[in-house]
Structure 1
C-alpha cells in the first residue's frame, strides 16, 4: 500500500492548501465544477441502487466511487478546501492570506454548485422523459429526500437546526478524513481503499454534505418535492455549509496540524538535555 507517515502526509496537506489558495480562478472553477458534477452523478447512482434494490447499505457501499474518481482526477470539493487551505494560512505560506482563502472557498462553492445543478437538470430530464411524464420511482424518492431533510428539520425548530448542524459536522469529519486518506498512500489502490471507508460511513449514516445536497435538493424541487427554495437554503444548505466547515477544520485539519506539524516538546529528556535546560548559575554551581 506504500503507507506515508503522518508527519509526511500532513506536509502534503499544507502543500495542497497552498496550491489551492494560489490557483487561478479559471482552474479553480473548472476543478470545482467537475467535482460537483461527478459527486452528483455518484449520489444519483446511490439513490437509484437504494430504490431498485431496497438496500440502503448497498447504495452507501457504492457511492464512494464518485468521490474516489474526482480526487484521483485532481478536482476540488468545498468540504476539502475547508480543511486544507487554512493549514497553509497557519503555516504562513507565501501568498496565502485570509482574502485568498475566502476567495478560494467562494469560487469552489460556485463551481461545485454549478456542476451539481447541471447534473440535477440532466437527471430530472432522464427521470421524466424531458418533463413529459411524472417522475419515475427514483425521481419520486429524490423529492421525498428533499422534503424530509428540510421541512423535516423545520418541524423540530431549534432542535432540528442543531441536529442538522451536527450532521454537517460529522459529515465533513468523515469526508475530510477521506481527503487526507488519499495522501496516506502513494499507490492508487491504497488511496482508493483508504478513501472508500469514511465516505461510505458518512453516506450510510445520513450525514449532511453541502455538495451532495446541491444535487439532491434542486433535483427534488424540479421533480415535485413538497418544499421550497427558501426551505432548502435555510433548513439545509446554509447550516450544512457551516457544519461542514467546523467538522473538517476542527476534527481533521487542526488536530493533524497541531500534533504532526506543530508537535509539542517531548517530556522524555536525556541527562544532557536536562543540564542544558538549567539556568547558567545552577550549572556553574554543580560544576564547582
Structure 2
C-alpha cells in the first residue's frame, strides 16, 4: 500500500527531526541554499503564469513545483524545520543548542540561496542593470516588495499584525505540506500530497519567510523603494516569528501529539 497512516507519520516526523538535527553545517548550508533558490525560481514561474493568463490562481497552481523538488530531494527549508526540529528538543532527543544551531544554519542557507538567485535573476533580466525597460515579472516583484514592507508599515500596528497573522497561516499550510508528503511512499503520491497545501498558501497571499528572502531583495534590485531596514523590520523578522508559531503549534505539535503513541505529558528540557 502506498498510503502511510497518521500514526506512522507521527513516528516519521520524529525520525526526520532527529536526522535533520544531525546534519553538518556544510550540509545545512548547501541544502538550505538550494531550497532558497528553488523557491525563488518558483516565484518567478508563478508570476510568469499569472501575467500570461491574467489570473492569479494560475500562479498558485505552478508555484508548488519548487517545494516538491525540495521535498523529493530531501533539501532543507527552515520553515518546514520549524515544525519538526523543535519536537525533537521537546522530546529530549536533541539539546537546545543543537536545535538552535540547526535552525540558524538552515535559515542562513535559505537566505544565501534566495539572495543569490535574486541577483542572478536581476543580472539576466536587466542585463546587469543596463536594460532601459522592465518586464511584467520585474514590475510584479517591485510591487510585491513594497507591499510586503512599507505597505504594512503604512498601516502601523494593524499592518504589522496583519503580516504576523498571515505568516502564522502560511506556515500552517507549508508545514502541512511537509507532513502530507510523509503520507505516501511513492514519488507521485508525495508530489500530490505536498503540493496541495502549498497551492493554498500561495493562492491566499500569505507570508512565507523564505519566499520573502527572494521577493523583497529582488524587488529592491529592480528599483523598489525599500531599504534593507524596511525589509527586516517590517517583514522578515515578523514573518519568521509568525512562521515558527504557525508551523510548530498548528502542524508539528498538533499532528504529532494527537497521533503519537507517547502518553507521557509534554516536557520542555533545558
Q: Corresponding residue for 2:244? A: 245
Q: Corresponding residue for 2:267? A: none
Distance 1:74 1:53 in 2: 33
Quick one: higher RCO (CA 8 Å, sep 6+), 1 or 2? Answer: 2
Q: Corresponding residue for 1:220? A: 219
Secondary structure in 1 matching 2:182: coil
Q: Corresponding residue for 1:169? A: 168
Q: 2:96 aligns with which of 77, 95, 98?
A: 98
Task: Write out per-residue CA displacement over residues 92-146 of structure 1, whole angstroms, 9 at most, x where no aligned residue.
Answer: 22xx111000000100011000001111011111221221113222111111111
Residues 209-218 or 145-154, more deviating: 145-154
Q: Corresponding residue for 1:126? A: 124
| TM-score, L = length of structure 1 | 0.89
CA deviation after TM superposition for structure 1 residue 89, in Å = 1.5
Task: Write out per-residue CA displacement over residues 67-92 of structure 1, whole angstroms, 9 at most, x where no aligned residue.
Answer: 00111011010101111101111222
**1:113 equivalenced with 2:111 (yes/no):** yes
Larger Rg: 1
Q: Corresponding residue for 2:31? A: 31
Q: Corresponding residue for 1:84? A: 84
Distance 1:108 1:100 in 2: 12
Distance 1:92 1:238 in 2: 28
Q: Corresponding residue for 2:268? A: none
Distance 2:34 2:54 in 1: 30
Distance 1:73 1:246 in 2: 26
Distance 1:150 1:107 in 2: 25
Task: Write out per-residue CA displacement over residues 199-235 of structure 1, whole angstroms, 9 at most, x where no aligned residue.
Answer: 0000010000000000000000000012211111111
Secondary structure in 2 matching 1:48: helix
Distance 2:218 2:26 in 1: 27
Q: Corresponding residue for 1:275? A: none
What's the C-alpha RMSD, in Å, of the aligned pairs? 1.3
- Contact kept, 8 Å, 1:128 with 1:136, in 2: the verdict is no
Q: Corresponding residue for 1:236? A: 235
Q: Corresponding residue for 1:74? A: 74
Distance 2:12 2:102 in 1: 18
Task: Write out per-residue CA displacement over residues 160-213 of structure 1, whole angstroms, 9 at most, x where no aligned residue.
Answer: 111000000000000000000110010111111111110000001000000000
Q: Corresponding residue for 1:20? A: 20
Q: Corresponding residue for 1:285? A: none
Secondary structure in 2 matching 1:227: coil
Distance 1:48 1:125 in 2: 17
CA deviation after TM superposition for structure 1 residue 28, in Å = 1.1
- Contact kept, 8 Å, 1:127 with 1:138, in 2: the verdict is no
Secondary structure in 2 matching 1:31: helix
User: Which sections of structure 1, spanning at least 5 residues, go unmatched?
Assistant: 266-288
Q: Corresponding residue for 2:148? A: 149
For these two proteins, the number of residue pairs brought into alignment is 263
Q: Corresponding residue for 1:179? A: 178
Distance 2:63 2:195 in 1: 9
Distance 1:33 1:119, change over 3 A: same
Secondary structure in 1 matching 2:202: helix
User: Which sections of structure 2, spanning at least 5 residues, go unmatched?
Assistant: 265-270
**1:10 equivalenced with 2:7 (yes/no):** no
